[in-house]
A and B are shown apart, each in its own frame.
Chain A
């Protein structure tokens, strides 16, 4: 099922210290005319591929900033241009929840949504409103948002971005996050920076992230029944047991699974590729979604696994688990997608130094599909 990361707006009410959007792009929101074109293209795609479903992840910026009128328009366009295919379109949203209200929730329900992805930062000064990053006001609004979505029966999970500000307090962070979201339901993620730009000195190294995860993992392992859904631990446990990927950046199979659309109609591969101006496919006005999925760059993405196995990742026992990491990290590191991610080291060190000794598990690559290198 292809996933459309739809950045309908670059506008955002928050000022997060690590955000590329704020740092790099001017705020703008997709026009209704262009929005109409998007749904015409989506319908085109779904009519051609009648056995496929389509997922839209509403993104930003802050997707709630566009207001309820926008999403009512979406509903109208779905009825108008996707009358026979709208049931094969699912909707998700990634929002900071500070602008959510009952009207928006009602229209989200009409779009079939029942869950929300968000992010959370307990420490002050890392995200907040305005230049001064007013975290108190931000968090108050965020907590109200949580209460509102829970009242409406929505489930939610969040991403926690690990920055230099917290790298020395892994257990403290872990306790706060698990107190906030009781069974887990969050993902620990390192902060990414574009070409090592780090004006605010928030970046961390792969080793630092590995050790950060490792310290937390010791605690998590002792009480894994208490908070089962902490990523990436939950996925690694599944990996080692049943095979399967951790997330898109380590799947090695994102060539034909993702597409990105920006507020001006610009098509790219995913959120980060757009932020970094990589994989510029064209504009939805001229290029259909079908054509975007057949773009030449995707063939390169497809070949990446084979190339890495013979080069950067030759002999690596964990290749079938991480596949050299996200192609964009490879590009960020060495200006080419045919390089492994610098974050591979984090994966390897974490698994070797912490995960395997603590759990007693050993990675068995035979649980994964054999790569057919002749293709």
Chain B
């Protein structure tokens, strides 16, 4: 299988030592904050660590005991909320000096103000979509804040990704923010198996380069071109270019209108920047 240019996502540390990782970069998924520094220090020299992904589930950002050891770790933290805001504000200087992005769930109403707080304080952050539906008004308000605020602030994903790629002459999915892109990310399940999504069809690590490319095309045929095959609502949506069906069931109301507005904001913002 093609060896270079890919990022492998693992949550089993034993897989990191396998040779398949060697020539590629790796995202290590952890759930315990206490493991972050140790894992990074252990593997940093020998492997190209793209990111450490710390998923706290329903945990709060404030449960993490940040310290100076976290400074050089490329880290994305999925947290349910900020938790003790007072504590976060006490250590925000330390967080600012780290390479951290804090992700919060779109379904949690608290997330939107929290993300504005973080972004306005220079901490990269973002929103992620889980099984619950998000409030589209709050989402649009956050988008408006990101794109229209007159003062500098840190990036909020996926808005930053959308804006960066808005002038491409092909459809680009912001899903890469969440490590989903069949051209870049592979989920490694075992020594022998991988998939393009955590839950999608498992494929053999030992595929030839040609077969691997075919699988990439098959994946795209199903997940992207499939909309044009079915001529579903997504294929006819004005905001397909920035959404690519990622958010079709994510909002409590019409996603098309919501994402069409996000598209407008992003365009205006990028046009003003140019």
| Chains A and B share a contact (CB less than 8 Å) | yes
Q: Roughly how many angstroms separate A144 CA and B221 CA in the complex, as a whole number? A: 8
A368 to chain B: which residues have CB within 8 Å?
Answer: none
Range for the number of chain B residues in contact with chain A: 10 to 19
Q: Does A84 contact B (CB under 8 A)?
A: no
A123 to chain B: which residues have CB within 8 Å?
Answer: 231
Which has the most chain B C-beta neighbours within 10 Å: A139, A225, A226? Answer: A226
Q: Are B169 and A226 in contact (CB-based, < 8 A)?
A: no
Q: Does B170 contact A (CB under 8 A)?
A: yes
Name B235's contact: one of A144, A179, A183 (CB within 8 Å): A179
Name A144's contact: one of B170, B217, B241, B267 (CB within 8 Å): B217
Q: Are B237 and A179 in contact (CB-based, < 8 A)?
A: yes
Name A226's contact: one of B170, B171, B267 (CB within 8 Å): B267
B230-244 to A contact mask, C-beta < 8 Å, 1/0: 010001111011000
Using known A-B contacts A123-B231, A226-B267, determine if residue A182 contacts B221 with beta carbons closer than 8 Å. no
Name B231's contact: one of A122, A140, A144 (CB within 8 Å): A122
Range for the number of chain A residues in contact with chain B: 20 to 34
Q: Are B170 and A175 in contact (CB-based, < 8 A)?
A: no
6 contacts between A and B (CB under 8 A): A136-B229, A144-B221, A147-B220, A178-B241, A179-B241, A225-B271
Q: Are B267 and A139 in contact (CB-based, < 8 A)?
A: no
Tell me how far the C-beta of B118 lies from the nearest C-beta in chain A, rounded to whole angstroms.
Answer: 31
B241 to chain A: which residues have CB within 8 Å?
Answer: 178-179, 182
Q: Are A176 and B169 in contact (CB-based, < 8 A)?
A: no
Name B225's contact: one of A143, A150, A185 (CB within 8 Å): A143
Tell me how far the C-beta of A143 lies from the nearest C-beta in chain B, rounded to whole angstroms.
Answer: 4
Q: Does A32 contact B (CB under 8 A)?
A: no
Q: Are A182 and B231 in contact (CB-based, < 8 A)?
A: no
Residues of B that sit less than 8 Å from A by CB: 168-171, 217, 220-221, 225, 228-229, 231, 235-238, 240-241, 267, 271
Q: Which residue of B lies closest to A136 (CB)?
A: B229
Which has the most chain B C-beta neighbours within 10 Å: A136, A143, A179? Answer: A179
Q: Which residue of B lies closest to A228 (CB)?
A: B169
Q: Roughly how many angstroms separate A185 CA and B170 CA in the complex, as a whole number? A: 11
Residues of A that sit less than 8 Å from B by CB: 122-123, 136, 139-140, 143-144, 147, 150, 172, 175-176, 178-180, 182-183, 185, 225-226
Q: Roughly how many angstroms separate A335 CA and B212 CA in the complex, as a whole number? A: 57
Q: Are B217 and A147 in contact (CB-based, < 8 A)?
A: yes
Name A175's contact: one of B217, B220, B236 (CB within 8 Å): B236
Say what secondary structure dominates the interface of chain A.
helix
Name A122's contact: one of B169, B221, B228, B240 (CB within 8 Å): B228
Tell me how far the C-beta of A202 lies from the nearest C-beta in chain B, rounded to whole angstroms.
Answer: 18
Tell me how far the C-beta of B34 lies from the nearest C-beta in chain A, rounded to whole angstroms.
Answer: 44
Q: Which residue of A lies closest to B236 (CB)?
A: A175
Using known A-B contacts A122-B231, A139-B228, A143-B225, determine if residue A182 contacts B237 with beta carbons closer than 8 Å. no
Q: Are A182 and B171 in contact (CB-based, < 8 A)?
A: yes
Beyond A172-B236, A176-B231, A182-B169, 6 extra complex contacts between A and B, CB < 8 Å: A136-B229, A147-B217, A175-B237, A176-B235, A179-B240, A182-B171
A147 to chain B: which residues have CB within 8 Å?
Answer: 217, 220
A225 to chain B: which residues have CB within 8 Å?
Answer: 267, 271
Q: Roughly how many angstroms separate A185 CA and B240 CA in the complex, as a whole number? A: 17
Using known A-B contacts A179-B171, A183-B169, A226-B267, determine if residue A139 contacts B237 with beta carbons closer than 8 Å. no
Q: Are B228 and A140 in contact (CB-based, < 8 A)?
A: no
Q: Roughly how many angstroms separate A139 CA and B241 CA in the complex, as a whole number? A: 20
Name A176's contact: one of B168, B221, B236, B271 (CB within 8 Å): B236
B267 to chain A: which residues have CB within 8 Å?
Answer: 225-226
Q: Roughly how many angstroms separate A51 CA and B231 CA in the complex, as a whole number? A: 50
Q: Roughly how many angstroms separate A147 CA and B231 CA in the complex, as a whole number? A: 19
A143 to chain B: which residues have CB within 8 Å?
Answer: 221, 225, 228
Q: Are A180 and B228 in contact (CB-based, < 8 A)?
A: yes
Q: Roughly how many angstroms separate A140 CA and B259 CA in the complex, as a whole number? A: 28
Q: Roughly how many angstroms separate A144 CA and B240 CA in the complex, as a whole number? A: 20
Q: Are A122 and B220 in contact (CB-based, < 8 A)?
A: no
B237 to chain A: which residues have CB within 8 Å?
Answer: 175, 179
Q: Roughly how many angstroms separate A225 CA and B267 CA in the complex, as a whole number? A: 9
A139 to chain B: which residues have CB within 8 Å?
Answer: 225, 228-229
A185 to chain B: which residues have CB within 8 Å?
Answer: 169
Tell me how far the C-beta of A154 lies from the nearest C-beta in chain B, rounded to whole angstroms.
Answer: 13
Q: Which residue of B lies closest to A180 (CB)?
A: B228
Q: Are B171 and A176 in contact (CB-based, < 8 A)?
A: no
B225 to chain A: which residues have CB within 8 Å?
Answer: 139-140, 143
